[in-house]
Amino acid sequence: MIQVKLKKCAGCEQPKHIWKSHGKDKYCQSCWYSIEKPKAIKPVSTKMQATMDEYTKKRKAYLALFLTCQATLVDCTGGATDVHHMEGRGENHNKVSTWLAVCRNCHRWIEENPAEAKELGFSRSRLNES
């Protein structure tokens, strides 16, 4: 028969079989389920959520204004469905002056061919080039 070494539970302070540890504290099974665990980190910060909410509204209005693809590259479907961020997202995420209404095929081509897209004016550098 195996003897289980009992330890003092941090919750009930009784010598019990330790179920789980949290930091340096050790808990029996019943106390473990009754303690408040630390909250998980939110997947999106409050600030980023506000930025994304603003983007969603602006994007919808932008695509209602620009119904046709502004790139019209090979395999263009004609209807604008995506917003291409010509200077990337980051600080320009909600800056409408850096947007381009494009169809999915043109957007894919722009993303897959960055050098050519830059030459055609569909993408711009984020860096201040003097």
Ranges of H-type helices in 29-113: 29-34, 46-65, 104-112
pLDDT in tens, 76-96: 999 999 999 999 888 889 999
pLDDT of residue 28: 85
d(Cα 8, Cα 17) in Å, to the nearest integer?
Answer: 8
Residue 32: pLDDT above 60? yes
103 CB-near residues (< 8 Å, 6+ apart): 69, 71, 76, 77, 78, 79, 80, 81, 82
Q: How far from the centroid of its chain's Cα atoms is residue 40's Cα?
A: 16
- Please, is 118 exposed, middle or buried when counting C-beta atoms within 10 Å of its C-beta (0-12, 13-18, 19+)? middle
Angle at 64 between CA 62 and CA 68, to 5 degrees: 90
pLDDT of residue 130: 42
pLDDT in tens, 52-72: 999 999 999 999 999 999 999
pTM, full prediction: 0.66
